Amino acid sequence: MSENKDLEQLGEFGLIDHLKSKFSTVQPTTIQGIGDDCAVIEISDTEAMVVTTDMLVEGVHFNLMYTPLKHLGYKAVVVNLSDVCAMNAKPEQITVSIAFSSKYPLEAIEELYAGIKAACEHYGVDLVGGDTSTSYTGLTISITAIGRAKKNKIVYRSGAKDFDLVVVTGDLGAAYMGLQVLEREKEVFKSNPSIQPELDGYDYVIQRQLKPEARKDVVQFLQELDVTPTSMIDISDGLASEILHICKSSKVGCHIYDEKIPIDGSTSLAAIEFNLDPATCALNGGEDYELLFTVKQADYEKIKGNPHMTVIGHITDERDGCYFIDKNGSAITLKAQGWNHFNA
């Protein structure tokens, strides 16, 4: 009981910090251990390999009532490739480990792997191994992704500096609204299975939830623009949580402006229908798998007007703190919702 309470108090990130404090690295090839989107391992004087693992657990990360297995396989790969992109690296290989009930039909596993294959083809990565086990508690998928980059092009969470600009790719909040729509239709279906789901007009937000993409294209654009971000992270847990990771790792503060946050019109419409503030969905929703990065002011001209990138704020001194400036100009302290925030 008391141990559970400790875990609750620590939260996911506190637990990771606690575990990390018990280990130190001894290999000179370990450039970056626990604490970034990927570990970084030296492979030559100029090149490094990046490695990341993400696990999707039935009932926690997905619900098979409304998640097609093919989409699930695709998403399981994407969430890992997104972490590789967040290091400004190019994904090359994945391994896939699955645990599932022995009652599963072969077709179900084939569907899952059809999605995994589609992602491998789309992103040009090779499936090179994995593991298979029985599960008594539902489906679990754990994927490891491996990528490569020039050592001097790797971007960490820790490099943001005072006055840097804060940039986000694509638009935010849609995946969270997609989840709200799917959850609502699930409840309607449970109470009356003869009612057809009402999904018209929600295509974009549902697609963002069920079939996200990793911004490998943005890594390419940045290279073409000759911009190396000073820090970068992918948005898996919501903008607020991710900018706080950058600020903590970089020992800086920030100002993020409500009016600058890119939100698709269909996300705003869905949010308003659900009595939610669209900005709150962007800040706390998560699963957008967009990239959040900082650049030097001198690089502004190179990214200005780029349709994939929006400047949403700037970095400040650590002592100034981390603030969200709302549409009335009021500064609100940024807070991460932490784990299990979907249950709140």
Residues contributing to the site for ligand ADP (CB under 6 A): 16, 19, 34-37, 54, 83, 236
Minimum CB–partner distance for residue 62 and Mg ion (Å): 18
CB closer to ligand ADP, 54 vs 213: 54
CB closer to Mg ion, 37 vs 258: 37
Minimum CB–partner distance for residue 33 and ligand ADP (Å): 7
Among 234, 264, 287, 299, binds Mg ion (CB under 5 A): 234
How is the beta sheet containing 90-100 ordered, strand by strand?
30-32, 39-42, 47-57, 140-150, 90-100, 126-134
Minimum CB–partner distance for residue 63 and ligand ADP (Å): 20
CB closer to Mg ion, 37 vs 287: 37
Indicate if the alpha-carbon torsion angle 85, 167, 218, 269 is positive or negative: positive
- Out of ligand ADP, Mg ion, none, which partner does residue 164 contact, by CB within 5 to 8 A per kind? none
The answer to whether 308 touches 217, Cβ cutoff 8 Å, is: yes
- Out of Mg ion, ligand ADP, none, which partner does residue 287 contact, by CB within 5 to 8 A per kind? none
CA dist list (Å): 184 to 222, 278, 286: 39, 18, 18
Output the residue with the shortest Cβ distance to Mg ion: 37
CB closer to ligand ADP, 278 vs 286: 286
Among 37, 164, 213, 237, binds Mg ion (CB under 5 A): 37
Minimum CB–partner distance for residue 54 and ligand ADP (Å): 5
Q: Which stretch binds Mg ion (CB under 5 A): 35-43, 57-65, 146-154, 263-271?
A: 35-43
- Out of Mg ion, ligand ADP, none, which partner does residue 16 contact, by CB within 5 to 8 A per kind? ligand ADP
CB closer to ligand ADP, 41 vs 114: 41
The answer to whether 98 touches 133, Cβ cutoff 8 Å, is: yes
Name residue 303's amino acid.
I
Residues near Mg ion (CB under 5 A), total:
3
Minimum CB–partner distance for residue 184 and ligand ADP (Å): 27
CA dist list (Å): 227 to 87, 88, 147, 157, 326: 14, 11, 20, 16, 29
Decide if residue 36 touches Mg ion (CB under 5 A): no
Among 36, 54, 58, 83, binds Mg ion (CB under 5 A): 83
Please give the residue ranges that form the binding site for Mg ion (CB under 5 A): 37, 83, 234
